[in-house]
């Protein structure tokens, strides 16, 4: 089902976000907007099918980059190649600008016009140069939306790309009174995304991470009304049952559709509300069971480190006195060595359970692991 069928939250938020980016609403996000939402809750669909079209209606030139589209590629290359691809749509304009430019601009426009087939920027040109050229070529502000932006922090080159983006923002938004660059960075993990904004050494220090609101009963009501005409008149889904199932699977549309699809294939299915609940409970228990099994199979030191990381959240510092005491307490030991903690963190990263920023901060790889732990573990 396309997002155009969905009411409410997408319509409200595309308007709120666009006005916030322009500094026209109660929220002022001219320095950048940082949105976090759990995986598979509709965030990326909203960006592509609602937010980007809303930006285009305002006349902005839009660029969309998904840093998880190819995690083997350096985030810097993904960002610059997306910018270059958009510049390529103005190839003729860029070539004319190169011919008409004065000495201070010809190096930028000329280099770009001769280098449009390459994924990388020409030598000596910065991301700010390329974005400024795009603003001038399109005669419009540029809006860049980077999905799963926290992935940039996994390498130093990615961190540098975030600082380059900030430098471009500062360059394009100062002096003229007109905003040339709008930035939206999103992520599936709030704590990870916060590593862009919390410290003075981080590229967007001072900004805030906003929790993107989950789809609500308006969504499930619309989905119920979409599905019911395909069913027998005397065997229909109830709005309330659909929403309860949606909550059980963490407000994830894809999982809800999967449950409904399975029920639809069972031609003799009755008591649809009960079937919905059972299907949602089964998915939830399957996800949590996999986490419980993986957690139980960890060596003691790795489990102690992971528990401490989850418990401390953003305040986690791996080798602080508080953390070292916590490990020792969980292991019922007098003390734990720094090398053993580092080895545990490295092993947890290899298993895909822990994420590390290029400058040393840590967070759970998947927020749902922390949710499971807080709901299922005693204490």
The residue behind tokens 């666009």 is 18
Question: Strands of 209-211's sheet, edge to edge?
Answer: 61-66, 142-147, 181-187, 33-36, 209-211
pLDDT confidence band for 16 (50 / 70 / 90): low
Least confident of 78-87, 110-119, 214-223, 296-305: 110-119
Q: Which CATH number fits domain 3-211: 3.40.50.2000, 3.40.50.1000, 3.60.15.10, 3.40.50.300?
A: 3.40.50.300
Model pLDDT for residues 117-166, shown as the tens digit of each residue = 666 777 778 888 889 888 988 899 999 999 999 888 888 888 888 999 99
Predicted pLDDT at 2:
41
Mean predicted confidence (pLDDT) in 53-62 = 90
pLDDT confidence band for 321 (50 / 70 / 90): very high
Distance separating alpha carbons of residues 16 and 94, to the nearest angstrom: 33
- The reported pTM is 0.71
pLDDT surpasses 50 at 6: no
Predicted pLDDT at 322:
95
Can you tell me whether residue 236 is helix, strand or coil? coil
CATH 1.10.12 corresponds to the domain 298-376: no
pLDDT surpasses 80 at 181: yes
Predicted pLDDT at 23:
62
Mean predicted confidence (pLDDT) in 182-200 = 85
Cβ distance 17 to 184 under 8 Å? yes
Is beta strand 142-147 parallel, antiparallel or unpaired with respect to 61-66?
Answer: parallel
Predicted pLDDT at 360:
77
Model pLDDT for residues 220-247, shown as the tens digit of each residue = 998 999 989 988 887 889 999 999 999 8
């Amino acid at each position: 089902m396309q997002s155009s069928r969905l009411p409410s939250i997408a319509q409200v938020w595309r308007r709120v976000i666009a006005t916030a980016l322009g500094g026209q609403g109660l929220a002022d996000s001219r320095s950048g907007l940082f949105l976090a939402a759990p995986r598979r809750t509709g965030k990326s669909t909203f960006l592509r099918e609602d937010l980007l079209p809303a930006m285009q209606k305002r006349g902005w030139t839009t660029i969309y980059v998904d840093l998880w589209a190819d995690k083997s590629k350096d985030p810097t290359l993904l960002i610059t190649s997306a910018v270059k691809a958009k510049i390529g749509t103005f190839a003729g304009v860029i070539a004319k600008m190169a011919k008409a430019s004065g000495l201070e601009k010809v190096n930028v426009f000329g280099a770009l016009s001769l280098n449009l087939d390459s994924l990388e920027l020409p030598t000596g040109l910065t991301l700010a140069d390329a974005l400024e050229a795009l603003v001038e070529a399109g005669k419009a502000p540029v809006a860049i939306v980077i999905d799963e932006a926290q992935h940039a922090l996994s390498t130093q080159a990615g961190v540098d790309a975030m600082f380059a983006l900030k430098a471009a923002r500062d360059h394009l938004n100062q002096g003229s009174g007109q905003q040339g660059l709008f930035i939206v960075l999103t992520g599936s993990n709030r704590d990870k995304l916060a590593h862009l904004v919390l410290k003075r050494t981080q590229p967007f220090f001072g900004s805030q991470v906003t929790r993107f609101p989950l789809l609500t009963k308006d969504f499930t009501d619309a989905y119920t009304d979409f599905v019911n005409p395909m069913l027998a008149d005397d065997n229909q889904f109830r709005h309330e049952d659909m929403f309860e199932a949606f909550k059980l699977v963490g407000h994830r549309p894809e999982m809800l559709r999967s449950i409904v699809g399975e029920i639809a294939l069972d031609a003799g299915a009755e008591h649809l509300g009960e079937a919905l609940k059972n299907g949602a409970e089964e998915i939830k228990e399957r996800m949590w069971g996999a986490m419980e099994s993986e957690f139980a199979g960890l060596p003691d030191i790795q489990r102690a480190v992971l528990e401490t990381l989850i418990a401390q959240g953003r305040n986690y510092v791996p080798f602080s006195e508080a953390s070292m005491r916590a490990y020792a307490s969980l292991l019922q030991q007098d003390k734990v060595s720094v090398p053993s903690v580092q080895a545990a963190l490295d092993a947890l990263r290899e298993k895909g359970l822990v994420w590390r920023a290029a400058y040393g901060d840590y967070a759970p790889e998947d927020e749902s692991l922390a949710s499971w732990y807080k709901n299922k573990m005693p204490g």
